[in-house]
Every structure is written in structure tokens, then in C-alpha cells.
Amino acid sequence: MKTIAKDVMKTNFKTLSPDSPISEALDIFKRSKKDGKTIFGIMVTDQDGAIAGMISMYDILLFLLPKHVKIWGNISDIEIEGIIDRTADKLKNFLVGDIMTPKVISVTPDTHLMMILDIMIKKHVRRLPVVSSGKPVGMVYISDLFNHLLERV
């Protein structure tokens, strides 16, 4: 049975630069859906190829979320299109590096699958970059872990 990260990690992954416009990240997310392999997070690497962060759909949605959202439930006459248009306009001034998550938990190719499962559960993450000598070599997704570990059940 496969027991370590490199046994289950996906090696076909996209990366972005911290200086990429956010529209580039949006394009990758949209294209992945069209290709039938929806991805939810993209690794961000610096000029040396080292992992600098991760940008996820969550990061972009967080940017979309208004600051005073807790009182919005009381307001009925809101046009959500207007909010999205305004956010899209604001997004033009921001780069991937501005809204990505800079502190990324990663594993190495030799990390045991149970250790990966433990991290995913404790830290509430669904994907973990696999890093070797500071550079990303793969990504382990919770769905792959689930499918692999429960194959025998």
C-alpha cells in the first residue's frame, strides 16, 4: 500500500508568480473547471522557484466579502452585481502576492500519509504542497488521500 506523500501526490500543477495579476489566477480556476478538473488552490513561487505562498478560491472570495458583512442580513435592497463589479474594479490594483496566504504548511515527498491526514484535519486544509529543497514537486489533495485510504474499506 502507498504510504508516503510522493505515492499519492499530483505532479501536474500550475504555479503563479507573486507579481501575477489576480486575473491570471481567475483564468486558471475557470479553465480547470472547463477541463473537468476543478482546482481550488494554486501554489505561488518566487523567482528562484521556491514556494512563496498559496492562492485559493477562499482568498479571492475573502477579498469579495464586504467588511461589515454581519449587518448585511438586515439590508434587503442590495444589488450583488454592483458589489462584484466594484470588487472586480478594485482587484485590478492588486497582485497575487497581495492576497495570497504567505504562511503555507507543506510536507516533503517522504512524509507519511497518516501525518498528512493529521495536518489536514487539525489545520482544516484540503491540499498540501509537497516541497523538496524549498521547491514544490507536487500537491496532495484530501480527495486523493480519501480515495486511496478508503479503497480497502
Partner 1 sequence: MGKDTLTGLKVSHAMRKQVIVLEPGDTIDCCIQYLIKYKINALLIGNDGETPLGVVSKSDIMGAWYAGLPLSTPIEMIMNSPPLFCGSDDTLDSALDTMKTNNIYRLYALEKNSNSVVGALAYPDIVGLLYHYCSQCDQGIFNKTKEISNDRIKRYKVHEIMTKKVESCKEDASLESVVEILSGSRFGAILVSDDQNYPKGVISKTDITLCFRHGQDLSVPAGTIMSTPVASCFEKDPVESAIKTMILKDLHRLFVIPKENKSVSGVLSLTDAARLRSGSCHACITSRIRVDKS
* 75 is a site residue for partner 1 (CB under 8 A): yes
Distance CA 153, CA 51 (A): 36
- CA-nearest of 94, 83, 85, 125 to 107 is 125
Strands (DSSP E) contained in 17-144 are: 41-45, 51-56, 127-132, 135-141
* 67 is a site residue for partner 1 (CB under 8 A): yes
* 94 is a site residue for partner 1 (CB under 8 A): yes
* 66 is a site residue for partner 1 (CB under 8 A): yes
* 63 is a site residue for partner 1 (CB under 8 A): yes
* 74 is a site residue for partner 1 (CB under 8 A): yes
* 95 is a site residue for partner 1 (CB under 8 A): yes
Helix (H, G, I), strand (E, B) or coil at 46: coil
CB of 67 to partner 1, least distance (A): 5
* 100 is a site residue for partner 1 (CB under 8 A): yes
**Contact present, 125 and 20 (Cβ < 8 Å):** no
Residue 11 C-alpha cell reads as 505532479
Which residues form the interface with partner 1 (CB under 8 A)?
Answer: 59, 62-63, 66-68, 70-71, 74-75, 78, 83, 86, 93-95, 97-103
